[in-house]
Amino acid sequence: MAKKLYVGNLSYNTTEDGLRNLFGGFGTVASAKIIFDRETGNSKGFGFIEMSTDEEAGAAIAGTNGREFEGRQLRVNEAMDKPRRERGAGGGYNNW
């Protein structure tokens, strides 16, 4: 089963291919995604890697967390699931 990893403190010039190449040394990369700002189109400085197995993910974390890549010291750990937000919650006129 694939394991998703969070990769933080990326250079704003890092590409998904660059991430794929870096993490490919630790096993099969199922996907690589850098997160971009919707309005500016600029990188937000973090992304996600999906490794094919738990063992490969563990090796990737051990081999890249704290490592310098493109001038930045990476922060790599297992990704947490994004909390679900309730629909309709939040601002509005009838929320008393």
d(CA 82, CA 39): 21
Domain containing residue 66: CATH number: 3.30.70.330
Task: Say if 57 falls within a structural domain.
Answer: yes
Q: What is the percent of the chain with per-residue pLDDT over 70, rounded to a whole number?
A: 90
- The residues pairing with 3 across neighbouring beta strands, listed in sequence order, are 51
For the chain, what is the mean pLDDT? 91
Task: Say if 86 falls within a structural domain.
Answer: no
Task: Say if 73 falls within a structural domain.
Answer: yes
Task: Say if 66 falls within a structural domain.
Answer: yes
Task: Say if 95 falls within a structural domain.
Answer: no
Identify the pLDDT of residue 82: 74
Task: Say if 84 falls within a structural domain.
Answer: no
Total count of domains within the chain: 1
Task: Say if 41 falls within a structural domain.
Answer: yes
Predicted confidence (pLDDT) at residue 89 exceeds the cutoff of 70: no
H helical segments located in the chain: 16-24, 54-64
Q: Range of 27's domain?
A: 3-78
Identify the pLDDT of residue 66: 97
The model's pLDDT over 34-66, given as tens digits with 9 standing for 90+, comes to 999 999 999 999 999 999 999 999 999 999 999
